[in-house]
Amino acid sequence: MKHLTILVPNGENNLSSIVGSYKIFNRANAIFTAKGRNAVFTIELVGTSQKIGFYDDLFTVQPHKKLSEIKKTNCIIIPSLNHNFDSAVQENQEIIDWINKQYHLGAEVASICTGAFLLAATGLLEGKMCATHWSAAAVFKQRFPNINLQPDQLITDENGIYTNGGAYSFLNLILYLIEKFYDRETALLCSKIFQIDMNRSQQSEFIIFNGQKEHEDEAVLEAQEYLEQNFQEKISIAYLSEKLHITRRNFDRRFIKATGVTPLDYLQRVKIEAAKKQLENYPKTVTEVMYEVGYNDAKAFRDVFCRITGLSPVEYKLRYNKNASFIEK
C-alpha cells in the first residue's frame, strides 16, 4: 500500500484544506475496500510539532506522526498557509527540506492554494507551472520570478507536482488526484457524495482585479492611476508613455516588471473589472455596459471579457446578477 502524507505545518494554516483532504481520501479508500479492492493509501497527518493550533487555538490538530518518522512517502499534500507566507517559510524549513528530499526519492507533491509558497521555497517549482490563490498572485510573482505562475488556472500538473487555485477549489484538486491514483469511477462517486463540481478548470471568473501596486516605480504608479481613472476614455499607451517622458519600449518593460502585466493588459483588466461590477449589480444590457467601460466593438469586448473571466458577458450576468431573468441575443 502506498503512503499519503498530509502535512500540518507550523504557524497559521487553513484547517479546512487539511480536514477536507483527509476526509475525501479516506472515503476513496472506503469505496475501494467496499468493492473488495485494496485501499490505495495509508493516510497520515504529519508535522514537526505534536500539536498545532488553529484560529487562536479554537481547534487543534495532533498529527499521527512526526516528520522524522516518515522515511519515505508516495504523495504529499501541502495545505493552504493563509497569508503569513514569510513566517510560514521561516517556521517550516525542516518540512521544506523534507519535501525536496522526498520528491527526489520519487514522491509526488501537491500544494493547496497558498501552500504553493511553501512548495516554491523548496526550489522544485523553478521553471515549472504553478497556480495559487488569485489574491496572492502578485506577491508570489515578486518572490518567485522564475516560476511560471498560471493565475487563471485551477490546477497545474507537471512532472509529479500539482498545484491549485484558491480556497475551496482544493476540492477539485483532491478529486483530480483521486482520479489519478484510484480511478475515474471513484472520483465521480466522491464528487457526488461531497457535491463537488468536477467540471471546473479555471478560477478566472472569481478574480477581483486590484492591480499590483506594491512596487517603488513612481512613474508606473502614476500610469496605473491614470489608467484606472480614465479607462472609459480612448487611451493610447504610446501617448501615456510620452506623457511620462519614457520611451514606449522602456515604459512597457518597467510596467511589466512592476505589475506583472503589460500596460494594455492592465487597461483591459481595469475595464473588465468595471464591467463585471455593472453586470453584477445593475439591470443594464451587455451593450450598455460595453459602452460605459469604453468599448464600442461588441466582438472585441466579448473576446477580452471571455479571455479574462472565462465566461461571456451574458453568461457572467446570468450567473452573478440575481435579477437577470433573460438571455440577451
CB 110 within 8 A of CB 158: no
Q: Give pLDDT tens digits along the chain (329 positions).
A: 999 999 999 987 889 999 999 999 999 999 999 999 999 999 999 999 999 999 888 999 999 999 999 999 999 999 999 778 889 999 999 999 999 999 999 999 999 999 999 999 999 999 999 999 988 998 898 899 999 999 888 999 999 999 999 889 999 999 999 999 999 999 999 999 999 988 777 777 777 788 888 889 999 999 999 999 999 999 999 999 999 999 999 999 999 999 989 999 999 999 999 999 999 989 999 999 999 999 999 999 999 999 999 899 999 999 888 876 554 44
pTM above 0.85, yes or no: no
- Rounded to whole angstroms, how far apart are CA atoms 109 and 201? 19
pLDDT for 277 equals 92
C-alpha pair distances (Å), 172 with each of 79, 152, 222? 14, 15, 40
Nearest residue to 175 (alpha-carbon basis) of 190, 154, 193, 165: 190
Sketch the domain layout of the chain as residue ranges: 2-206, 218-320
Grid cell listed for 240: 501615456
Asked if domains 2-206 and 218-320 share a fold, the reply is no
- Listed as own residue / partner, the contacts of 94-98 with beta carbons closer than 8 Å and 24 or more positions apart are 94/48, 94/67, 95/7, 95/9, 95/47, 95/48, 95/67, 96/121, 96/122, 97/122, 98/67, 98/70
Pick among 3.50.50.60, 1.10.10.10, 1.10.10.60, 1.10.150.120: CATH of 218-320: 1.10.10.60
Pick among 3.40.50.880, 3.50.50.60, 3.40.50.460, 3.40.50.720: CATH of 2-206: 3.40.50.880
pLDDT for 8 equals 97
HEC profile for the chain? CEEEEEECCCCCCCHHHHHHHHHHHHHHHHHHHHCCCCCCEEEEEEECCCCEEECCCCEEECCCEEHHHCCCCCEEEECCCCCCHHHHHHHCHHHHHHHHHHHHCCCEEEECHHHHHHHHCCCCCCCCEECCCHHHHHHHHHHCCCCEECCCECEEEECCEEEECCHHHHHHHHHHHHHHHCCHHHHHHHHHHCCCCCCCCECHHHCCCCCCCCCCCHHHHHHHHHHHHCCCCCCCHHHHHHHCCCCHHHHHHHHHHHHCCCHHHHHHHHHHHHHHHHHHHCCCCHHHHHHHCCCCCHHHHHHHHHHHHCCCHHHHHHHHCCCCCCCCC
pLDDT for 324 equals 65
